[in-house]
A and B are shown apart, each in its own frame.
Chain A
Amino acid sequence: MGSLHKISVSVFFVFLSLTASGGDPYRPSAGAGEAGMGYVCVMKNGFWSSFHNQALLADNTSFSFGFNYESRFNIPELGTRTLGITIPSGKASLGALYSHFGYIDFKRDMTGLACGIKLSNKINAGVQVDYFSERTTGEYSNHQALTFETGLLFKPSENIRLGIHLFNPVPNSIRKTYLPTTLRIGAGTDLSKILFTGVEAEMSSGNDLIIRTGFEYEAARNLWLRGGFSTNNNSFCFGFGYLTKIAKLDLGFTTHERLGVTSSISLIFKIH
């Protein structure tokens, strides 16, 4: 039984290093809408995007909450369940995120408390405090880590948005557990009222530079089509979203050169 645990944990780490969402497996890749665009979201408004760049939180003017499920390569053991909530409060907005990954022998939970604030008409800033917990069975030890992430959003014009996000700038010597650092920089523009495109660069310590590009097209009223491409494993992405009276439903699919497709579904409810 012990050896079985070792094998499953090894398989997990192999898959973890090949995640389609980037080189950093610690942060939850939440948001089916974002997945459909290849996670080009460091500058794009959206419920889940606010947890990819907390500066975007400040533009969330509604009390919202949402659920997301990501099935990595359709392997149940590699599923991630995420719950998020945003609370507007004047110039600032607050957010909370909980994510659970894994299965009985390996679990990773992440809890984040976020705040985004409008500094001016052109600048937003945000920060999120994260707590990670990793639990394994058998002879492997458990790990906990506390860190933070921060982001900035700039709006040079009505149609152009620039986003910068830095995850875990804390030196590893301060914390005994290793956590990679990730820098994301992106720019997006509304080419028209119904078409948004963006490009993003991401680099995590110890991993290759990733360039992503994606688009979102409003094909019909309340119906969005999305697509994207990431240089990480030459991954193509697509998806769609539909807004109903009570909630927004998003589906996203991300391909991997060898391992298949990762699918995501999310539901977002806006109270007002």
Chain B
Amino acid sequence: MVQRFANFAVKKKAHLKYIFILIFILNSLSVFCQETKLPERIISIAEELASDESDPEAVGAYIERLHDLAENPVRLNSSDENEISRLFFLSDFQVKILADYVHSFGRIITLYEVANIPGFDKETAEIMFPFVTLETKISMGPDSARWRNVSVTNFHFKSGNKDTTSLGPPWKMLSKYKFSVGAFAGGLTVEKDPGEKLLSGNPPLPDFLSANLAYTGKGVIRRIIAGDFSARFGLGTNLNTGIRTGLSLSSSGYMSARDEIIPYTSTDENNFFRGVAADLSLKNLGLCLFYSKNLSDATLGSSTGDSNNYIENLYTSGLHNTSSLLVKKDVISDQTYGVNLSYNFNNIKVGLIWSENRFSLAVNPSGNDPKDNFEFKGDRNDLYSIYYNSLIKRILLYGEFSSNGYSGSAFVQGLSFRPSDRITFNFLLRNYSACYVSFHGKGPGSGSTTGNERGILGNFSFEAAKHLFITGGCDIQQFPWLRYRCSAPSYGLKQEVRARYLPTEKMAFEASFNYRSVMLDSSENTGIPKQMEVVSKSFKATFRYIVNENLTLGSRFDYKISDPSSSKGMLLLQDINYRFRHLPISIWFRYCIFKSDSWDSRLYTYENDMLYSFSIPALSGEGSRSYLMIKSDIGKKAELRVKYGMTSLIESRENITENRELKVQVRLEF
């Protein structure tokens, strides 16, 4: 099948003449693009994640992953499926096709050649650009025996009233260090949130400290990690401490990328493993083993009154800036171990996962809230899963079934169908029973937890005409039991249509319409709350224009209506990115004016930010948001970024609040 794709690609070689004409211009542009802009679809996904209040860490993990890719781009010409599958937003189809294309026809000469490979289009190619390289070997790879060290340190200062209950200074600090030498790599991450002490505990250590050491091989031992790591197997219903699949209704596919264990470099202070993991491979057989014992945050309760002897709930925000929050820090141990065994037959891959999670104290949710009826109780959770994926001609089937003993189960079944190279359909069915619990799992779904959800999702991606791409999708959700802010079984609906027009290589127009419906408790009632349907409809239009190799413009307007409150939100913004021709300096400037009647109609806007950091402010009220960011290369080994942002909120003509922030970053490479 893959070979058939590749043969078909030969016909497309006729387009190479056109491609070569563009090489001169595009090569220079692509370099600039990498530095200044993320593709619109990536930004949309980030904003969608930021708007999901139930999973505040998701957007951080997503951005982190993108930064990692940008720092260590995927070697397309390696023809290694594992390497290419690091582009987590590609479908399994696309990974196979790309690897086979390089196998069959040799090196990809220009990134724009990717757009002409069957299964790809200009839009998908554009999404890949910032995260790939055409080099076959790069210094971070296992073939390099040279020491390479990279350190990044961020400081974030915000204006505003000082919180007197905070234990430490109000600024935020993040520092990361990575090294690689040959097949070995390692890293160290230190973070201090606003209001936290820089050093605390005995011995005094930073509030969050993470380290890892990894070996990557090409033989039986594919990877060994000691220290902090992240894992994902199958479709993630059993184990997935990375990002959730099925992020957007306009995704090109919903199947997870490959099984993986990767060094943990993110800043979510709870959802990661600390221990040892090994990824082994023998021909078509894959085996991953891991053991982790990590300290986690929790709110403890006591039944006897004199000592804490059970867990009321897990505390996941990672913020320890007051005495009451500091008490929750690292109070329980979370011991997790498991194994993933997979085998690749010709057209089908099958895998088995077992994992066990043990807490040092039993979980016993407090209160008599019916919502908690199916919450996990006890100190041990065993999970068993079986998963598969199979490529049959132009149909990709994949699925997973997981069970935690006899109490709960999760079932996911997906299908990707590509009747022609210009159209793709995806369907995804999921059924998570109310009592299914996975503390380190994150299967495809709408919420942060994999439990209490049934749903079916369908979408299509269509190259309607030359330069015109249309995607659309619908996700119907059912929640068979009560959930946060909804005291009855409920349902939800998401719909999206997106059109993208790329008339030239320098211009891009995109328009999208989103419909979201969710059931929530009405706040006006006393006693047993009634439910109401909250509907939001939003329209977004963006325009990007690369004026020349130094200057890029971006304009956008959003309009949103939220019912039943009938509140409206709207914004207009202008981005200007400029890179000086004779100086190693780039600047990013944004001016945005917004207005929203209430918090329901708030709008999210992705901002360019520091490396390994992100900013997607929720704009609510009336006012403006502007920022200026400057990046300067200091020699070949250092880079300085400074961002100054200001949000102005108009209460009245006499009462205007201005919040300022300053971010500084130093990146060193040696």
Contacts and interface: CB of A to CB of B under 8 A. Distances in A.
A83 B557 CA distance: 34
Given A185-B555, A201-B557, A208 B574 contact: no
Contacts of B570: 203, 208-209
Given A122-B547, A162-B553, A201-B557, A171 B648 contact: yes
Contact of A185 (B547, B574, B626, B656): B574
Nearest to A185: B555
A173 B555 contact: no
Given A154-B547, A181-B624, A209-B559, A172 B593 contact: no
A66 to B, nearest CB: 29
Contacts, number: 79
Contacts of B650: 205-206
Interface string B544-582: 010110010101010100000000101111101000000
A183 B574 contact: yes
A164 to B, nearest CB: 6
Contacts of A187: 543
A71 interface: no
A122 B574 contact: no
Contact of A183 (B568, B572, B654): B572
A205 B572 contact: no
Contacts of A207: 595
Interface in B605-631: 622-624, 626
Contacts of B568: 208
A209 B547 contact: no
A169 interface: yes
What is the interface residue range for chain B against chain A?
Answer: 20 to 34
Contact of B593 (A154, A171, A178, A181): A181
A96 interface: no
A202 B572 CA distance: 7
B622 A205 contact: yes
B163 interface: no
- Among A154, A172, A209, find the residue whose CB has the most chain B CB atoms closer than 10 A: A209
A207 B594 CA distance: 9
B591 interface: yes
Interface string A138-167: 000000000000001010100000101010
A62 interface: no
Nearest to B570: A209
A171 B646 CA distance: 9
Contacts of A9: none
A171 B658 CA distance: 8
Given A154-B545, A166-B574, A183 B591 contact: yes
Given A156-B545, A208-B568, 4 more contacts: A162-B545, A201-B557, A203-B594, A209-B559
23 contacts: A123-B547, A123-B551, A154-B545, A154-B553, A164-B555, A169-B626, A173-B658, A178-B656, A181-B624, A182-B593, A183-B591, A183-B593, A185-B572, A201-B557, A202-B572, A205-B622, A205-B648, A206-B595, A208-B568, A209-B570, A209-B571, A209-B572, A209-B595
Interface of A: 122-123, 152, 154, 156, 162, 164, 166, 169, 171-173, 178, 181-183, 185, 187, 201-209
